[in-house]
Amino acid sequence: MVFNIQRYSLHDGAGLRTLVFMKGCPLRCLWCANPEGQPPQKTLFFQEKKCCGCRKCVERCPTGASAERSGLIVWDKTRCTECMECVKVCPTGARSVCGREYTVAELASVVERDSIFYRGHGGVTVGGGEPLLQADFVSQFLKACKEEYAINTAIETSSYATWEKASSVFDYVDIFQMDIKHMDSAEHMRLTGVPNAPILANIQRVAQTYDFSKRTMIIRVPVIPGLNSSEENIAATAEFVRRLEVVKRVELLPYHSYGAAKYERTKWSGSYQLNALAPTAPDELMERLAALVRSFGPYRKDRGLRRGGAEQCRSPYVYGTLSVPGHAAPD
């Protein structure tokens, strides 16, 4: 189940990327920017600003979830069964279905059509949601991309899954973009709804299992002021990453609240919990934490790639420096 395909991205892997967002996520991060991607099933998405007030949804709704009040069309989530009858009659797209099923061949064909733009440097990036929640499908999809079309593959993942499921996907990944949201398991549970032990264990196992002379690992840390932005937590993260010895770079991703409005547009996401925070993380905070992360580098030890103890980065992002691709916090 896919809830979005985004083309021509420059910040989600090497080169120009096609992003495939898989539906469903076991985490409930307080700052999630894509709450519509959390439920694994198709869901109703209501954008009130697109509503023209035609009342067709009111007339069609079998449960009274769509109603008119004071001249405005409102949506009672508690009465909605997501039968999607309103979607069928909405003339403006204010009501839409979030989620589409593809076969492996269909999705691979969609990505292959973009490959002319990659010019040997781009590829496909699978994110979500959490792609490991659909491990069987994603592994087959990435295998098809690599073996049938020779497309470079990347994954954006929380790594929250059993190793059996995770490795079935990771076997076909060229670029690992792996999130670490907090090093303290109790805090991780409070902020995301799940413990971090399986996540850290999977990241360590990836570092030990795969040949990173041919692959790339990037660790991404969403910086949420007051929640995981302490120097103690960032230092613990940097030390964990340093011990892996295979990480190309650490990306500190500034918090933003751009997805807050989406919480009112879906039935399953509840209300946004971080309205009290400033809409973006302060630059001063990001620079200070970047300097801290830098002090733990280099992160990638020489494993036959180059001589001298550490691989030198030729990209604009040296290991441990602040990398801010698009001001987007991972889900």
216-223/175-179 β-pairing: parallel
For residues 83 and 62, what is the distance between their CA atoms, to the nearest angstrom?
Answer: 9
pLDDT score of 304 more than 70: no
Which is higher by pLDDT, 197 or 327? 197
pTM of the predicted model as reported, rounded to 2 decimal places: 0.88
Write the DSSP string, 218-252: EEEEEE-TTTT--HHHHHHHHHHHHHHSBEEEEEE
| pLDDT at residue 325 in the model | 33
* Burial class of residue 23, CB neighbours in 10 A (0-12, 13-18, 19+): buried
Domains of the chain, with CATH numbers?
2-39+100-294 (3.20.20.70), 43-98 (3.30.70.20)
Cβ neighbors of 190 (< 8 A, separation 6 or more) are: none
Give the side-chain half-sphere CA count within 13 A for 187: 13
- Taking only the tens place, the pLDDT of each residue in 238-295 is 999 999 999 999 999 999 998 999 999 999 888 899 999 998 888 899 999 999 999 8
Phi, psi dihedrals of residue 322, rounded to the nearest 5°: -70, 125
The CA-to-CA distance between both ends of the chain, in Å, stands at 17
Q: What is the mean pLDDT of residues 152-166?
A: 98
Six-digit token string for 112? 């292959």
- Residue of 173, 157, 179 lying closest to 123 (CA atoms): 173
Average pLDDT, the chain: 89
* CB count in 10 Å sphere of residue 193: 14
For residue 297, name the pLDDT band (cuts at 50, 70, 90).
confident
Cβ neighbors of 259 (< 8 A, separation 6 or more) are: 32, 33, 34, 35
SS3 call for 97: strand
For residues 52 and 75, what is the distance between their CA atoms, to the nearest angstrom?
Answer: 14
